C-alpha cells in the first residue's frame, strides 16, 4: 500500500483546513480505499472520499475536537465545526478502529489507497485507470 520507504512513515501528521484540529499517527494505516458511496459524496462535497484505516490507539489528537454527525445507524462522520473539513469515520460495530481522510494529511501522497468500493455509484464522467481492485458495493474478500 505504501510507496517508497516505510521510514518516512514513522510519524504522519494531519489536520483540518483551519488548523483547529491536528492529529498524528505513528504507523502506516493497515488499509486504505476510495469510497464512491452517496454518503461519502454528500459528506465530503466531492465525488469520492479517500480513507485510511487505523486502530483507535494509533491516533494521537494534538489539538481540537472532531464534531461527529451520525450519518447512519452505526456510522459517525467527524468534521471540523470551524472549517467543515471531513476528518474521520467510525462504525460503532468496530470500536477498536478509526478511519481518517487521506486528504486531511499534511502530505496525502504518503498513503495510497489500494481498492475502490461502491463503484456502482461512481460518477460516469470520472475515468479511473488505476489497477486497484474495484467493488460495486462493499469489499468482498
Ligand atoms: Zn478546521
Ligand atoms: Zn462511502
CB 67 within 8 A of CB 76: no
Enumerate helices (H) and strands (E) in the chain, giving the number of each. 1, 11
DSSP string for residues in 67-117: EEEE-SSSEEEEE-TTT--EEEEEETTSTTEEEEEGGGBSSGGG----EEE
Ligand 1 mean position to 21 CA, how many Å?
6
Structural domain count, the chain: 1
Please indicate, yes or no, if residue 102 is contained in any of the structural domains: yes
Note whether residue 139 is domain-resident: no
Q: Is the residue at 17 inside a domain?
A: yes
pLDDT higher than threshold 80 for residue 7: no
For ligand 1, an ion, list residues with CB under 5 A: 16, 18, 20, 80, 82-83
Ligand nearest to the CA of 19: 1
Give the pLDDT band (50/70/90) at residue 140. confident
- 3-class DSSP state of 129: coil
Q: What DSSP state is assigned to residue 136?
A: S
Residue 1 counted as domain residue: no
This prediction's pTM: 0.91
With contact defined as beta carbons under 8 Å apart, do 27 and 2 qualify? Answer: no
Any domain includes 39: yes
Which CATH number do you get for residue 63? 2.170.150.70
**Domain coverage including residue 65:** 6-134
Please check whether residue 140 lies inside any domain of the structure.
no
pLDDT digits (tens, 9 = 90+) for 69-90: 999 999 999 999 999 999 999 9
Q: Please, which residues bridge with residue 133 across strands?
A: 115
**pLDDT value for 91:** 97
Q: Is the pLDDT of residue 4 over 70?
A: no
From first CA to last CA, the distance across the chain in angstroms is 17
**Distance from the alpha carbon of residue 42 to the mean position of ligand 1, in angstroms:** 18
Q: What is the pLDDT of residues 101-120, one digit of tens each?
A: 999 999 999 999 999 999 99
Residue 8 is predicted with a pLDDT of 54
Separation of CA 78 and ligand 1 centre (Å): 11
Residue 82 lies in a domain: yes
pLDDT score at 10:
67
Which ligand number lies closest to the CA of residue 75? 2
Tell me if 141 is assigned to some domain: no
pLDDT tens-digit map of 94-103: 999 999 999 9
State the average pLDDT for the chain. Answer: 94
Amino acid at each position: 500500500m505504501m510507496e517508497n520507504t516505510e521510514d518516512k512513515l514513522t510519524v504522519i501528521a494531519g489536520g483540518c483546513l483551519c488548523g483547529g484540529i491536528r492529529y498524528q499517527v505513528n504507523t502506516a494505516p493497515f488499509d486504505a480505499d476510495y469510497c464512491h458511496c452517496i454518503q461519502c459524496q454528500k459528506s465530503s462535497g466531492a465525488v469520492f472520499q479517500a480513507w485510511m484505516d487505523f486502530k483507535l490507539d494509533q491516533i494521537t489528537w494534538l489539538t481540537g475536537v472532531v464534531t461527529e454527525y451520525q450519518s447512519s445507524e452505526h456510522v459517525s462522520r467527524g468534521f471540523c465545526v470551524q472549517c467543515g473539513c471531513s476528518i474521520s469515520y467510525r462504525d460503532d460495530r468496530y470500536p477498536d478502529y478509526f478511519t481518517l481522510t487521506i486528504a486531511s494529511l499534511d502530505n496525502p501522497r504518503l498513503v495510497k489507497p489500494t481498492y475502490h468500493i461502491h463503484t456502482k455509484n461512481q460518477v460516469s464522467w470520472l475515468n479511473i485507470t488505476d489497477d486497484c481492485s474495484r467493488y460495486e458495493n462493499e469489499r468482498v474478500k
